[in-house]
Copies of this chain bind each other. A is one copy, B any other.
């Protein structure tokens, strides 16, 4: 039996572009993981890791035009968006180099011997060490920032973990180019190339999560795929952490006061956010509570104008296009659901954006309308019209976990409902926005890109400095002579690390 070919496909035509690789066999996955495991000690040096991440950013930028061209050809996301994503990805690699340089992520704690404690303290010194080989499952919708050179890879390498990436089938050519960039960056900084390896194929992804030498995994994708891998990670003889970002509705609540103040601005802003990247952002606002009545109608008018003037778009692949067309058709057929702008198929390879409306009362209890509370990937959003704040609260209580939740409130004067609604949104998501739109995720230390299940399968973030915490575990040395301690834990702090000593910051 010959190996299964991996084709790069043009979503604008559905035609194969080129054969990029072959799917990895179980033996090849085993070899990749063992090779990664074998070179893990090479990543122990923090300065080398920081240099590697910076070299990767530089080489990514040097190959930028070529990578963007390949990515556009196989994702149809467009050169402008992809050029921006590449810049973001390079900045992300550099930001993790800074995290490594600073060393606060090592979370050094030193407690000196203290016989006065109950029970007495021996000398205890704790920091964090890398978990080992990390499996990264690339996303369809961000071929760079959440794929081969993306946040999971960057944070795992920053932590000192070698990475085996499972490429997404929507952009294998881009994945190969990026893997080559990362491996060249490793070589340029004196590290073994096998600190990053790429594998293709569905079965390879399953092999990877089961491999005994894989210590943790990062995933961005669908609830179905992510849950299957999460289950496999949990079912291992030795379970491993699985940090998956699966799906999110990203609810938005527009208060009466907000609609009265700026219905047009909110409608236009929503239309822009939900159609961005053809509605293929994990942070797309997919469910919006809008007041019944004149101001809500005005909001919908502005939304209608924005969405109607959005050209048809190409989704990442034809399977997604079919799922989108079927998903909006199913939802639009529900009783009392109206489509002021009908989403669905446009040409043979394209889709058009649209939105649905439903009375919020339809969602107050379990029923067929619950389909409207599930993410529908693509350029569609659901507007639930409410008649009271109590009705909003009842609907919010029925929502699953989310990456984001947004409150549109009055910017001038007091909004009587704002505080109550913000309190009702907070349990639902990992990032709460006021008067903004959730698409667009800054790479910053205070960022949190995660949320209650199914938004993520853990309490961690996949964006921002603290994403590094996912790939580390603490270890404490007790009563260990100075000469045997790692330099991070020595009394004179030779590496100048921030630390807590005897319970206080030092």
The 8 A-B residue pairs whose C-beta atoms are closest, nearest first, are A234-B234, A109-B446, A124-B446, A448-B476, A91-B118, A459-B473, A111-B446, A238-B453
Q: A126-B447, A448-B476, A459-B474 are in contact. List 18 more A-B contacts (CB 8 A).
A: A88-B119, A91-B117, A98-B503, A111-B446, A117-B443, A117-B444, A118-B443, A120-B442, A126-B448, A131-B459, A238-B454, A241-B459, A432-B475, A432-B477, A433-B480, A434-B478, A434-B484, A450-B473
- Count of A residues near B, CB < 8 Å? 77
> Which has the most chain B C-beta neighbours within 10 Å: A121, A124, A457?
A124
Q: Which of A46-54, A64-72, A422-430 contacts B (4 or more CB under 8 A)?
A: A422-430
Q: Which residues of A390-436 are within 8 A (CB) of B?
A: 400-401, 409, 418-419, 422, 426, 429-436
Is B109 a contact partner of A418 (Cβ separation < 8 A)? no
- Inter-chain CA distance A121–B498, complex, in Å, is 25
Interface status of A465 (Cβ within 8 A of chain B): yes
For this complex, 29 residue pairs linking A to B, each with C-beta atoms less than 8 Å apart, are: A84-B119, A88-B118, A90-B118, A109-B445, A109-B446, A109-B466, A111-B446, A117-B442, A117-B444, A120-B442, A126-B448, A238-B454, A241-B458, A418-B484, A422-B484, A429-B475, A430-B474, A430-B475, A430-B476, A432-B477, A432-B480, A433-B477, A434-B478, A434-B481, A445-B500, A445-B502, A446-B476, A446-B500, A466-B474
A474→B500 contact, CB < 8 A? no
Count the copies.
Answer: 2
Cα–Cα, bound, A485→B474 (Å): 32
A387 at the interface (CB under 8 A from B): no
Q: Would B434 and A448 count as touching, CB distance under 8 A?
A: no
Q: How close is A234's CB to chain B, nearest CB, in angstroms? A: 4
Q: Does A137 contact B (CB under 8 A)?
A: no
Taking a contact as CB atoms under 8 Å apart, the answer to whether A479 and B435 are in contact is yes
A319 adjacent to chain B (CB < 8 Å): no
User: Contacts A119-B84, A459-B131, A498-B505; is A474 near B448 (CB within 8 Å)?
Assistant: yes
Residue A129 CB within 8 A of the other chain: yes
Residue of B nearest to A454 (CB): B238
Q: Tell me if A230 is interfacial: C-beta within 8 Å of chain B.
A: yes
A163 interface residue per 8 A CB criterion = no
